[in-house]
A and B are shown apart, each in its own frame.
Chain A
């Protein structure tokens, strides 16, 4: 029943997106910029691929309210540059934003970056959404105000759904002011030393904006601490931080950090979440080629030899954490996900209710979702 080559459709508006879902039969894959095409479980061959890359642009930007709504295929970096003209931003800096990731794709993969320390991930910044379900239902959730408890928050279901529950069509985001001043201090040190530094930083009222360690190979690496604030006040705060770290300023190092998160072609890149205090030891125990470790967020991204992935999942799980495989070498057939969460039956129930025929994203959450529920 599944064709060798799927039909690709590229709707240009919400109505066309709904029609594309309704007019196609069989399984559906959703693609944005393709920056995370290989992440999570491998997409099984599908009948139709919906390319949301044609759904782009800002729908409404209300600078005074600090909210913006966009079509889901909008690359976040394009949105950020439009917002910058107003001194505003989406306080979100996942590594693949730089390579063109779309807002919808970033939501669907529950991605995040160093700024999550203060601002959380898109789950915390999305205030409204329009989604298209596998039966052509177009549903709205949330709204255009930052404070809102009206009805169930269906946007949360889309966050981390990897295209298995619905197609994200429009997203409303909460914005923040671009900081007037930013500074980064960098210290070359081991992960253990970085964790100790982080402990000292979090014990004091320094309010860092991001605290990350990364390494591109050797046992040593670099601790990066970003501070944000006003032009007048920031220098004195940086001095305080400097007196603890004795570090040098180096804001360019964030590019190297993002590159470490993205990994190199052919690497198996594992995303890990755990208690911050357990993360250094956990990452230290893995045979990492490169690593980026959020010392306050508890989120790390590591590149591993392909044959170490299964054991790494197990080690993360043993430490109480969660893991998902991102990019991987061609032909890799190991596990993308760790052991299923305790709510697996609930997750399947949600899948059955929203996508009873199992049309969307087959394989993405494998082996957790039974792809054919009947």
Chain B
């Protein structure tokens, strides 16, 4: 049932007519997020100017049984912000105020449309920063980060979005406004804040978010090391961990990813080596000195063929540029690609990568790997050519890899979310009863099923449909953000 006139009028009253996008061309701009293979044009888009208008819009949706989908910057990679048929999109793009930065209690309160990097920019004058660092951080919003429980390269040591959000003001699907969380980690009853974090926009809309800020580390040490095999590089990761070192970041790239990155940004990686590791330590100078020496020794022990230590801020930036460019750069060596986000236990990294290589060979497709090795979060890129008719094969390989991660004792998604993309794979990780229990919790928040319906949990309708091919996000094509 399409949106009726009464619902349209109620929504216009809620946010103001001038903040409604009704024309087909305008609406089309919201038809997909970063998972561009899925597209649905929403019936209406509203762009509330303040939190009260968000609540009013949601109340109007509740009164008229209109499904709604919250949207931040639209960089999500799992189709979480994909509009739903006969529903509306609530864009948080205009809620961009930084409400408070408190250097004493080391926290900031911001509206959901503030970008991840803008929080750090607001905190920087106080020597503070916001730790979770998705590589889309220049453009992705904190509201989207909250919804996806986003991660980043430095989350190994510092934790994910969920570990950094103290409190949120949330508009529930019935339009009521509540606060989840509080001024400290001490809780009043069950951790509803924790349930909301990572719920992919299905339990309500966050309209204000209070995050913890950390002090900028005293020192940072970064190295880039080449290895004769992916196995050797994996062993280094294991030995670093076994030595009791918790690095700020440990990232791995394989030959194909290195080749693509070098071609794109010339960051000084060695083309042709089977594997490269980026290891970063941060913290007090004395600790970094001791542990950095240990890391170098571990690299040597595993046959490191070249060890490059960043000697300046610029050299460190170059190492990260190469790492972060790898994703988009793959577009240079392949017309199309799918990206996966599965997680495996760290000790099964080498085995998993070997299996992925074999699966790729069997499918006759190349797979590039660039990933968060420290926490086992893979980002295999399945390269293919749609023009050559390889789409179906690539898609099968891609979901096969996600499901392999589950088989290895891991998870379908480490940071990109389930959304529309992986909802149909959920039964490989969870039983029917587990999923039914999750659905019960969802209904406790959203009894009428109007808040981002059809995402996260498998539905017959969704799982009967077939996704289109992956296309790079426009921001990614323009080089503004990188994917990892």
Q: Which A residues contact B (CB, under 8 angstroms)?
A: 62-67, 87, 110, 112, 116, 120-121, 123-124, 133, 137-141, 143-162, 164-165, 176-180, 199, 202, 205-207, 229-230, 232-234, 236-237, 271-278, 297-299, 320-322, 324, 337-338, 340-343, 345-347, 349-350, 352-354, 365, 368
Contacts and interface: CB of A to CB of B under 8 A. Distances in A.
A160 B190 contact: yes
B185 A273 contact: yes
Closest 6 CB pairs of A and B: A273-B186, A156-B194, A177-B244, A298-B184, A273-B184, A205-B218
B179 interface: yes
Interface in B110-132: none
Given A275-B183, A297-B185, A341-B188, A180 B244 contact: yes
Contacts of A159: 187, 190-191, 194
Contacts of A234: 286
Nearest to A130: B434
Contacts, number: 277
B182 to A, nearest CB: 5
B30 interface: no
A318 B187 CA distance: 16
Interface stretch (B2-10, B262-270, B287-295): B287-295
Contact of A230 (B187, B291, B413): B291
Contacts of A320: 182-183
Contacts of A121: 185
A174 to B, nearest CB: 10
B433 interface: yes
A342 B244 contact: no
Interface of B: 104-106, 148-149, 151, 155, 159-160, 162-163, 172, 176-180, 182-195, 197-199, 215, 217-218, 238, 241-242, 244-246, 283-284, 286-287, 289-291, 343-347, 372, 375-377, 409-418, 422, 426, 429-431, 433-438, 440-445, 447, 456-457
Contacts of B148: 149
A319 B104 CA distance: 16
Contact of B287 (A230, A347, A352): A230
Contact of B429 (A143, A180, A206, A322): A143
8 contacts: A64-B346, A151-B438, A232-B290, A275-B183, A276-B105, A324-B188, A343-B180, A368-B189
Given A202-B215, A321-B183, A233 B192 contact: no
B445 A151 contact: no
B418 A157 contact: no
Given A237-B287, A350-B192, A299 B199 contact: no
A207 B283 contact: yes
Nearest to B457: A151
Contacts of A345: 176
Contacts of B438: 139, 141, 151-152, 154
A151 B431 CA distance: 12
Contacts of B155: 147
Given A65-B346, A207-B284, A273-B184, A346 B437 contact: no
B190 A66 contact: no
Given A202-B215, A236-B286, A337 B194 contact: no
Contact of A149 (B176, B188, B244, B414): B414
Contact of A157 (B413, B441, B447): B441
B172 A346 contact: yes
B303 to A, nearest CB: 20
A340 B192 CA distance: 14
A314 B457 CA distance: 42
Contact of A87 (B159, B193, B244): B244
A158 B155 CA distance: 24
A282 B426 CA distance: 47
A205 B375 contact: no
A230 B218 CA distance: 17
A276 B102 CA distance: 11
Nearest to B160: A147
A349 to B, nearest CB: 4
A354 B444 contact: yes
Contact of A120 (B159, B286, B429): B159
B244 A152 contact: no
Given A64-B242, A137-B437, A233 B184 contact: no
B415 A147 contact: yes
A148 B411 contact: yes
Contacts of B283: 207
B183 A298 contact: yes
Nearest to A229: B287
A322 B346 contact: no
B287 A161 contact: no
A124 B159 contact: yes
A354 B445 CA distance: 12
A365 B189 contact: yes
Contacts of A349: 444-445, 447
B347 A62 contact: yes
A153 B194 contact: yes
Given A273-B182, A343-B178, A160 B375 contact: no
A297 B346 CA distance: 31
Contacts of B376: 65, 145-147
A297 B194 CA distance: 18
B184 A148 contact: no
A64 B192 CA distance: 32
A349 B186 CA distance: 22
Contacts of B417: 149
A76 to B, nearest CB: 18
Contacts of A297: 184-185
Contact of B434 (A141, A199, A277): A141
A181 to B, nearest CB: 10
B477 to A, nearest CB: 26
Given A147-B160, A178-B244, A277-B105, A160 B185 contact: no
Which residue, A63, A66, A149, A324, has most C-beta atoms of chain B within 10 A?
A: A149
Given A143-B411, A154-B441, A205-B217, A322 B377 contact: no
B444 A150 contact: no
Given A65-B346, A148-B414, 6 more contacts: A152-B441, A157-B441, A202-B215, A233-B286, A341-B178, A342-B179
A247 B343 CA distance: 46
A237 B440 contact: no
B194 A123 contact: yes
A350 B179 contact: no
Contacts of B435: 151
Nearest to B441: A152
Nearest to A117: B185
Contacts of B291: 230
B192 A147 contact: no
Contacts of A147: 151, 155, 160, 343, 372, 375-377, 411, 414-415
Given A110-B191, A137-B437, A321-B183, A346 B456 contact: no
